[in-house]
């Protein structure tokens, strides 16, 4: 499938951008640490963390294993709450979805 390598490349670039922004927030906003995870529609989940939270993120949270299961549970609960129709949207869209949080300082 010719789209798959392009998708991996876009995901890698996006992950680099996330890491750069998180490191910048740690420096400028005096954040003490960060973790993040992305679950693509197909493929392996990816995530990252600051050095001080890396062991916890990998050993305790185990996002690569637990993240997709948690997302599936959220989507099932959301579909049930919406009358079983599923709502037709993806996780993160509409009410009750996940919202990105951004640093609110003026330096980032």
* 3-25 pLDDT tens trace: 788 888 998 999 999 999 999 99
31 within some domain: yes
Among 25, 31, 23, 66, which Cα is nearest to 48's? 23
pLDDT number for residue 32: 94
Q: What angle do CA 9, 12, 16 make, to 5 degrees?
A: 140
- List Cα–Cα distances, 101 to 29, 80, 95, in angstroms: 14, 26, 16
pLDDT number for residue 44: 87
Domain match, 12 and 50 both: yes
107 within some domain: no
The structure tokens listed for 1 are 């499938």
Domain match, 45 and 87 both: no
pLDDT number for residue 98: 54
38 within some domain: yes
103 within some domain: no
Q: What angle do CA 36, 42, 44 make, to 5 degrees?
A: 50
Domain count for the chain: 2
pLDDT number for residue 94: 46
Domain match, 41 and 57 both: yes
The structure tokens listed for 2 are 């010719």
Domain match, 28 and 56 both: yes
For residue 36, the SS3 value is strand
Q: Domain range for residue 84? A: 65-98
> How does pLDDT run across 52-101, given as a tens digit for each residue?
999 999 999 999 999 999 999 999 999 999 986 555 555 444 444 555 56
DSSP bridge pairs for 49: 35
Mean pLDDT computed over 16-40: 93
Higher pLDDT among residues 90 and 105, named by residue: 105
pTM of the model: 0.65
């Amino acid at each position: 499938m010719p789209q798959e390598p392009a998708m991996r490349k876009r995901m890698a670039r996006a992950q680099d951008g996330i890491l750069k922004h998180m490191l910048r927030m740690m420096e400028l906003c005096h954040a003490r640490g960060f973790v993040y995870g992305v679950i693509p529609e197909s493929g392996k989940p990816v995530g990252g963390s600051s050095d001080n939270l890396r062991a916890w993120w990998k050993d305790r949270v185990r996002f690569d294993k637990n993240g997709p299961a948690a997302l599936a549970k959220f989507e099932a609960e959301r579909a049930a709450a919406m009358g079983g129709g599923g709502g037709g949207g993806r996780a993160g869209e509409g009410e009750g979805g996940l919202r990105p949080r951004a640093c609110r300082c003026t330096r980032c």
